[in-house]
Amino acid sequence: MKETDVSLLYHAIRNMNAEKKILTILKELIAPGESKEVNFDVANLHTSTPVNVPVIIERSKKPGPTVLFTAGIHGDEVNGVEIVRQLIAKGINRPKCGTIICMPVINIFGFINLKREFPDGRDLNRVFPGSSNGSLASRVAYKLIKDIVPHVDYIMDFHTGGSGRFNAPQIRIIHGERKLKQLAKVFGAPFVLYSKNLNKSFRNTCAKKGVPLLLFEGGKSFHIDDLVTNSGVNGAKRVLNHLGMLNSKFKVSNPKKKCVFISESKWKRAKYSGMFKAVAKIGSKVEKDDIIGNITDPYGKFNFFVRADNSGYIINVNEAPIVYQGDALFHVTTKLSR
């Protein structure tokens, strides 16, 4: 082979390798070391106004994993949006190696109206993997699974409690997945709850595709809580540091307490309707028969003490001032795991 032929072959191989390093997302090319914001465009508003759903992509020149941060699958869960916003605003999403993709608000339609569902009334987290010709929510799910997820190695999805129920910061994973358990320990949330993947959820679809996903729950809808936000941001930093992706200028703090792994839990429900006030604090450990709240009537004639049915940790508290018989008041652990 002639020297010129060898040179041409060498450059051809080098160019092929360079092309492989270029990331193509939503028809945009992102080279190593490049930052880019692309538009996750699905549909316009009913006024024909275009809706931009930004996807923020940061790539290091050094190769490494690709991590996706998502929030706002439910439009009223603003605390999750705040966590991803802080990752971007503080520059935590600029990796030392690999690629970080941030989608702070997936359900932009619900976020605009501060509603959990899409305008079509569907819960985005119950229509995955979606369809290209289905409902609006189904089309968004399909686009996320088709155009974003195939490019990533890990996902952290941030959620909050709904209907005035405040979740203690927690990671939810399925039982028996060693990689997820290790990542959950690294994340360092106060609680790790073993829970099944719900059918047609984002987590379940990613599991079927072999993409590890940590689901974070913390706080409640329509509310931003600093402790929950800090837990989410610090957990994300720990995972990025574990993957060798966190920029050295950021410090990583150890969790204040060892993670409590929960295999079983149950709801304590209201026996009476009335005005409700919780006494036990979120995340606290209670003993059986401890008074954890009380229900009263508006006239001062009735006062019922809510007692714990068993010893355990309180991982969710209903913060609604008015409750009805059968309403969920406290989510209490019943069985812990290692």
C-alpha to C-alpha distance for 207 and 128, rounded to whole angstroms: 12
Residue of 211, 231, 215, 243 lying closest to 95 (CA atoms): 243
pLDDT in tens, 187-207: 999 999 999 999 999 999 999
Q: In the chain, where are the structural domains located?
A: 32-242, 265-337
The arrangement of secondary structure in 32-242, i.e. its CATH architecture, is 3-Layer(aba) Sandwich (3.40)
C-alpha to C-alpha distance for 335 and 175, rounded to whole angstroms: 14
pLDDT in tens, 202-234: 999 999 999 999 999 999 999 999 999 999 999
Average pLDDT taken over every residue of the chain: 93
Question: 8: pLDDT confidence band, cut at 50, 70 and 90?
Answer: low
336 has pLDDT over 60: yes
Question: 338: pLDDT confidence band, cut at 50, 70 and 90?
Answer: confident
Question: 239: pLDDT confidence band, cut at 50, 70 and 90?
Answer: very high
pLDDT in tens, 317-333: 999 999 999 999 999 99
Convert 151-167 into a string of H (helix), E (strand) and C (coil).
HCCEEEEEEEECCCEEE
Is residue 147 a contact partner of residue 129, using CB atoms and an 8 Å limit? no
154 has pLDDT over 80: yes
Please report the pLDDT score of residue 193 as a whole number. 98
Residue of 216, 197, 193 lying closest to 206 (CA atoms): 197
Residue of 18, 14, 12, 28 lying closest to 151 (CA atoms): 28
C-alpha to C-alpha distance for 325 and 10, rounded to whole angstroms: 75
Is residue 32 a contact partner of residue 61, using CB atoms and an 8 Å limit? yes
Lookup: tokens for 148: 């974003």
12 has pLDDT over 50: no
Largest CA distance in the chain: 100
C-alpha to C-alpha distance for 202 and 192, rounded to whole angstroms: 19
Please report the pLDDT score of residue 41 as a whole number. 87
Question: 6: pLDDT confidence band, cut at 50, 70 and 90?
Answer: very low
7 has pLDDT over 70: no
Please report the pLDDT score of residue 15 as a whole number. 46
40 has pLDDT over 50: yes
pLDDT in tens, 240-261: 999 999 999 999 999 988 999 9
**Model's pTM, two decimal places?**
0.92
Q: What is the DSSP letter of 119?
A: T
DSSP-H helix ranges across the chain: 3-21, 78-89, 108-113, 136-147, 178-187, 202-208, 226-242
Q: What is the DSSP letter of 93?
A: T
Lookup: tokens for 290: 């401890």
Is residue 93 a contact partner of residue 102, using CB atoms and an 8 Å limit? yes
Cα dihedral across residues 74, 113, 235, 167: positive or negative: negative
Please report the pLDDT score of residue 2 as a whole number. 52
C-alpha to C-alpha distance for 94 and 101, rounded to whole angstroms: 10
265-337: what fold?
OB fold (Dihydrolipoamide Acetyltransferase, E2P) (2.40.50)
Helix (H) or strand (E) holding 32: none
